Amino acid sequence: MWRWASLVLLLLFAPLAQAAPLGLGRAPTAAELEAWDIDVRPDGKGLPKGRGTAREGEALYQERCASCHGEFGEGINRWPELAGGEGSLTGDRPLRTIGSYWPYVSTVFDFLRHAMPFGNAQSLVPDEIYAVTAYLLGLNDVLKDEDFELNERTLPSIRLPNEAGFFDDDREVAEAAFWNRPVCMVACTAEVRITGRAAVLDVTPDTKSAPRIE
Amino acid sequence: MSPRLSRRLMLGAGGAAAVRPVAAEDDVIPEWSRTLGEGVDQHPYGKPSIHEKAVIRRDVGWLTASPQSSVNFTPLHALDGIITPNGLCFERHHGGMADIDPARHRLMIHGMVERPVVLTMAELKRLPRVNRIYFLECAANSGMEWRGAQLNGVQFTHGMIHNVMYTGVTLRTLLDAAGVKPGAAWMLAEGADAAGMDRSIPLGKALDDCMVAFAQNGEALRPEQGYPLRLVVPGWQGNMWVKWLRRLKIGDAPWHTREETSKYTDLLADGRARRFTWVMDAKSVITAPSPQAPVVGHGPLVISGIAWSGRGTISRVDVSLDGGRNWREARLDGPVLPLSMTRFYVDTEWHGQEMLLQSRAHDSTGYVQPTKAELRKIRGLNSIYHNNGIQTWLIRPNGESENVEVG
């Protein structure tokens, strides 16, 4: 009889011990997961069910995005550009946009779902995000068909032009010369000349061409 | 002692002054020596002296379109030691500064774990905690200087850094308890602010030395630093230290979020870009004298600066007074800790000679801080991030200083 009692006790306590090794906290609720678990990966993991086309996204974009990002994604004043810049990455003023620079479409979806429109974040429903993403892909000449349906299955299949433009941090190899090098302490250079001055270059604070930090 | 001061002291000693000194013409016994000061509780939360009112964070208006998606800079020229005061730690927001009620804040840990969990702030504070001093540097610090000397002040060229002591719980404690599943390799950290900042972090780093912090320098995190909870990713770029932290998700592949693709990738001259450049390379800068902190007089001069490395401990700093022609070893003073700012000094004399001040950091991995020219040769001019090149300040005969480059 005592054996049965201890087995019952074991069954009672085993799941408890497993659920809370910290002795604290609780499991996430379904509502919390639905609201918070909103990240999306390039392989499509995390994409919600939904659909939209560029044609459907146009009105939303012009109404809720264009005031900052411009009618064509060109960026009003210093608000970010969302299109253009093809071929500019090796130039003097590279323009990094979805079409010219970004590697994955999933990033657009993930970012809009988290942060846009600026000032009213996390307000777009999945169909709206699919539609406005399709519209942005149109502005960037990635999607040519205005009626192409972007959804959780088609989105991961669309590739961006610069996907192959990235490689993992290689500083320890490419910059190996910065390690363990002989360090000169005396008479290291022949003559020292001033080659640039902040007072001369001091940037005019209102121009769009000034470098940005992001 | 100044001649004026010593004359007065001599007069006093001779008993010649029988009348009480008058405040307006006599600073031997100034008013604060004769009248009572404010009582306790005038300032339940104390502030610096009114005479330090210029020592504040400052921004550069043209950098960004809106103050909610912007940055300001730590006034490094006016600080000393290695700890940044909480109110002076630079701010960088992508959706403004969230104002969070700690009673309603939650941290969720889920994804590839055996036991997904949601913890309140009160619960987090019941777990074993640690204290660690770390620098946090934005990867874009000095980013405006890639094309040449541009901003005239160390606050603006190098002020996207701070160094504070964090109190919190290690991710090792939290993730061990949640039970990471086999095959997991990455962690997504996400903020509760209106930017919902999300970043992928390799699980190895998370388990090695990351923590969730609820305090900085002994008091609760400041709202602008992520109150009530932020991620601490020692030695790695500041953008990963997600503020207002609400969620950690374990997965088997990186997410390639906007902050690790569109931003925080380093575009090289050939048009290709490095990604996942998390570690901050060894770097140093002389904080005074510098354009905002001119030399004030002939005679003794303290050259003061900071050095740090995301790879380890600062092992040595060299300083040049002549633009890199000759170098001397600086004196490291105060705690020299891994992944923390280290303070260095050169105690010297100045007699009005023009100087070109530079500093060069070495770290425990053998890395030696490169010149800007050496960096540009490898990385071109478009990389924005990770500019850890040697900075030069010109000191003119009148003591004023300017941001310059030398060749």
Q: pLDDT per residue over B59-101, tens digit each?
A: 887 778 788 999 999 999 999 999 999 999 999 999 999 999 9
Query: Would you tell me the crossing angle of helices A126-139 and A54-64 to the nearest 10 degrees?
Result: 90
Indicate the pTM of the whole model: 0.91
Which one, of B71, B59, B282, B241, lies nearest residue B151 by Cα?
A: B59
Query: B150 and B144 in contact (C-beta within 8 Å)?
Result: yes
CATH number at residue B373: 2.60.40.650
Residue B16 in any domain: the answer is no
The sheet with strand B273-275 has its strands ordered as A166-168, B273-275, B266-267
Is there a single domain that holds both residue B137 and residue B247? yes
- Is B21 a domain residue? no
The answer to the question of residue B48 being in a domain is no
Cα–Cα distance measured from residue B234 to residue A128, given in angstroms and rounded to the nearest whole number: 38
Regarding whether B297 and B271 lie in a shared domain, the answer is no
pLDDT at B25: 58
Q: Could you give the CA distance from residue B381 to residue B4 in angstroms, rounded to a whole number?
A: 55
The partner residue sitting opposite B258, judged by closest CB among A36, A41, A111, is A111
**Chain A residues whose beta carbon lies within 8 Å of the beta carbon of residue B274:** 166-171
Give chain B positions within 8 Å (CB) of A39. 188, 190, 198, 249, 255, 257
Q: How many domains does chain B have?
A: 2
pLDDT in tens, chain A (214 residues): 334 344 434 444 333 334 457 889 999 999 999 999 999 999 999 999 999 999 999 999 999 999 999 999 999 999 999 999 999 999 999 999 999 999 999 999 999 999 999 999 999 999 999 999 999 999 999 999 999 999 999 999 999 999 999 999 999 999 999 999 999 999 999 889 999 998 765 553 333 333 444 3
Identify the residue with better confidence: B256 or A12.
B256
Q: Does some domain include residue B64?
A: no
> Of B247, B275, B303, which residue is a domain's last?
B275
Q: H helices within B307-392, ranges in order?
A: 372-379
How many beta-carbon pairs under 8 angstroms link A with B? 267
Q: Within a domain: residue B6?
A: no
Q: Tell me, what's the pLDDT at A16? A: 37
- Asked whether the beta carbons of residue B407 and residue A195 sit closer than 8 angstroms, the reply is yes
**Both B266 and B127 in a single domain?**
yes
pLDDT at B10 over 50: no
Q: Which domain holds residue B131?
A: 86-275
Are residues B138 and B175 located together in one domain of the fold?
yes
Tokens representing residue B260 in the block = 């690790």
Residue B24 scores a pLDDT above 90:
no
Kindly tell me the sign of the dihedral angle through the C-alpha atoms of A145, A153, A140, A124. Answer: positive
* B308 and B260 together in one domain: no
B222 burial type by CB count under 10 A (0-12 exposed, 13-18 middle, 19+ buried): middle
What ipTM did this prediction achieve?
A: 0.91
Does the distance separating the beta carbons of A178 and B368 come in below 8 Å? yes
Contacts of B116 in chain A (CB under 8 A): 27-28
The reply to whether B271 and B171 lie within a common domain is: yes
B20 in contact with A at a CB cutoff of 8 Å?
no
Query: Hey, how many other C-beta atoms are within 10 angstroms of the C-beta on A95?
Result: 18
Give yes or no for a contact between A142 and A54, defined as CB atoms under 8 angstroms apart.
no
Q: Which numeric CATH code is attached to A37-165?
A: 1.10.760.10
CA distance B117 to chain A (A): 5
Is B191 a domain residue?
A: yes
Q: Are residues B109 and B235 in the same domain?
A: yes
Question: Which CATH number does the domain housing residue B179 bear?
Answer: 3.90.420.10
Residues 6+ apart with CB under 8 A from A33: B110
Residue B80 lies in a domain: no
Show the CA angle centred on residue B92, arms to residues B310 and B174, nearest 5°. 60
Distance CA(A159)–CA(A136), nearest Å, equals: 14
Mark whether B158 and B192 lie in a shared domain.
Answer: yes
Interface test with A, best of B92, B169, B262, B393 (most A CBs within 10 A): B262
Number of Cα atoms under 13 Å in the Cβ half of residue B323: 19
SS3 A20: coil
Domain boundaries, chain A: 37-165
- The domain boundary residue, chosen from B244, B275, B306: B275
Closest CA to B235 of B256, B215, B205: B205
